[in-house]
Structure 1
Amino acid sequence: MNLFLQNIAVLRDLLDLSLTILIVTRLSRLLKGVLALRILAVLSALVAGHLLARFFSLHTVRLLIDLFLASSVVMLAVVFQTDIRKAFATLTRSRTEKDVEMSDVIDELVFAVAGLAQKRIGALIVIERAIQVDSYLAVGTDIDAKVTSELISSIFLPYSPIHDGAVIIQHGKLTKAGCFLPLTQNLEVSKSLGTRHRAAMGLSELVDAVVVVVSEETGTASIVVGGKKTDVVDMPSLGKTLRRLVEPRWLK
């Protein structure tokens, strides 16, 4: 009888250890490309595993699962930090400021982009929407001026000290220039894209801004929203797209 109980204890320990190794292996694979649904599936599996381990007295497995569950809050905060930032930024955005008529701003932008593209002068223009971009900007010079095609064009002239950075348009005014933006971390982005396009993608992955890029290599313009780049066919289509993306957010 004692030998039988000892064999049962050994088998239970082996099962405990095997399940522990299996859980560690599966979790490491799942968390490599973690998505919201996959995380929920992992957490559900952990809860179920905790209950089973408790029922079968698998102490090592239960201890391991409890450790994962205890750290799940931190894990979720890290994984979804971008979404959390977006939510807080949206909540804290001031609604009391009087915004400039965006139709006029877009007309000036289109005129400036057309001239810059024709001369093959690179440009990076950020239009803030619901989520503030300030916390994602580096360096930069405060300007706080009316948006005009002449001002935008002069900023991006090669001899301008702030031509390498981005200009920021907030509430219909050009508030900053020469700003450095976070580069995209997306490994699937083509290596042929330059720093301006990578910066546009990087910022638009973090906030809901609309970013207009002019390539000095090709003299073409593109719009970047949500990390996705769309080439501009012609200037009228640029104006139409900007109105569709920006003006609904600014209606009084």
Structure 2
Amino acid sequence: MNSFLQNIGILRDLLDLSLAILIVSRLARLLKGVLALRILAILSGLVALHLLARFFSLQTVRIIVDLILGSSVVGLAVIFQTDIRRAFATLARSRTEKDVEMSDVIDELVFAVAGLAQKKIGALIVIERAISVDSYLAVGTDIDAKVTSELISSIFLPYSPIHDGAVIIQHGKLTKAGCFLPLTQNLEVSKSLGTRHRAAIGLTELVDAVVVVVSEETGTASVIVGGKKTDVVDMPSLGKTLRRLVEPRWLK
């Protein structure tokens, strides 16, 4: 009987800790990418240690691990306070407002990309999703303006002082321009790809952003996600692809 009750207690604790891991993993997708994943790995290790200590009745080890897990909640709140505030502020918006906002943004993006590609003007457009890209940007000029095809096109004109960098779209607004992105270090990436493509791949290897690249050599456009490049067949397909990719993940 005691053995049965002990097994029930272990199963209850396992369910409790599994739910905690699920909650932390969902939060990790909203927070700081690589750092969040490292913290999640550490927490998973502590949970595994807790289960082993309980199974082998290692009371001292269990107490120490429980203390660390309990204090980690406060630590996470301090480390990610800005991201948590931003995540809850984003979640507070209604889905309707987001869909209408992003639909307009995508229409403007597609129109701008079509014009730039036709004129063979290079462009690099970053659309932030759940994970912030701020930590991976260098240089850049703050803009904070409504996304319009005219604004995007003017930024990438050859005589523009910030045409070589990337424009950043966050929460439906064009927030920065002239930003330099981290170049990929992946040796398997084709050497024929230029700096813009390598920068787009490098950023998307670190965060879940969607990046649109227009090649000034060929006048072709491509979408890059997760370090993978997909060529754009035509502008309607670009619009469909962007609508599918930028839909808020936490609202799915």
TM-score, structure 2 length as denominator?
0.62
The offset of 1:234, in angstroms, is: 0.2
Question: Do the aligned residues in 1 keep the contact of 2:31 with 2:83 (CA within 8 Å)?
Answer: no
Unaligned runs of 5+ in 1: none
Question: Do the aligned residues in 2 keep the contact of 1:136 with 1:181 (CA within 8 Å)?
Answer: yes
Change (3 A) 1:63 1:221: same
Question: Do the aligned residues in 1 keep the contact of 2:164 with 2:178 (CA within 8 Å)?
Answer: yes
Which sits farther off after the overlay, 2-11 or 89-98?
Answer: 2-11
Which sits farther off after the overlay, 26-35 or 140-149?
Answer: 26-35
Which sits farther off after the overlay, 95-104 or 5-14?
Answer: 5-14
Runs of 4+ in 1 over 4 A off after TM superposition: 1-100
Question: Do the aligned residues in 1 keep the contact of 2:33 with 2:131 (CA within 8 Å)?
Answer: no
Matched position secondary structure for 2:66:
helix
The offset of 1:247, in angstroms, is: 2.4
Question: Do the aligned residues in 1 keep the contact of 2:166 with 2:178 (CA within 8 Å)?
Answer: yes
Write the deviation string for residues 178-213 of structure 1: whole angstroms up to 9, x where unpaired: 000000010000000000000000000000000000
Structure 2 distance, partners of 1:243, 1:9, is 46
Which sits farther off after the overlay, 181-190 or 85-94?
Answer: 85-94
The offset of 1:28, in angstroms, is: 31
Change (3 A) 1:86 1:217: farther
The aligned counterpart of 1:238 is 238
Structure 2 distance, partners of 1:29, 1:249, is 9
The offset of 1:31, in angstroms, is: 28
Change (3 A) 1:9 1:128: closer
Change (3 A) 1:23 1:57: farther
Question: Do the aligned residues in 1 keep the contact of 2:140 with 2:176 (CA within 8 Å)?
Answer: yes
Matched position secondary structure for 1:65:
helix
Matched position secondary structure for 1:126:
strand
Which sits farther off after the overlay, 176-185 or 57-66?
Answer: 57-66
Question: Do the aligned residues in 2 keep the contact of 1:141 with 1:178 (CA within 8 Å)?
Answer: yes
Q: RMSD of the alignment, in Å?
A: 10.3
Question: Do the aligned residues in 1 keep the contact of 2:28 with 2:40 (CA within 8 Å)?
Answer: no
Question: Do the aligned residues in 2 keep the contact of 1:86 with 1:206 (CA within 8 Å)?
Answer: no
Matched position secondary structure for 1:159:
coil
Seq. identity, %: 90
Structure 2 distance, partners of 1:87, 1:36, is 14
Matches within 5 A, 1:107-126: 107-126=107-126
Which sits farther off after the overlay, 66-75 or 151-160?
Answer: 66-75
Change (3 A) 1:135 1:93: farther
Structure 2 distance, partners of 1:29, 1:132, is 10
Matched position secondary structure for 2:203:
helix
Question: Do the aligned residues in 2 keep the contact of 1:103 with 1:247 (CA within 8 Å)?
Answer: no
Highest Rg: 1 or 2?
1
Change (3 A) 1:233 1:142: same
The offset of 1:77, in angstroms, is: 19
Question: Do the aligned residues in 1 keep the contact of 2:126 with 2:211 (CA within 8 Å)?
Answer: yes
Change (3 A) 1:207 1:39: closer
Which sits farther off after the overlay, 50-59 or 125-134?
Answer: 50-59
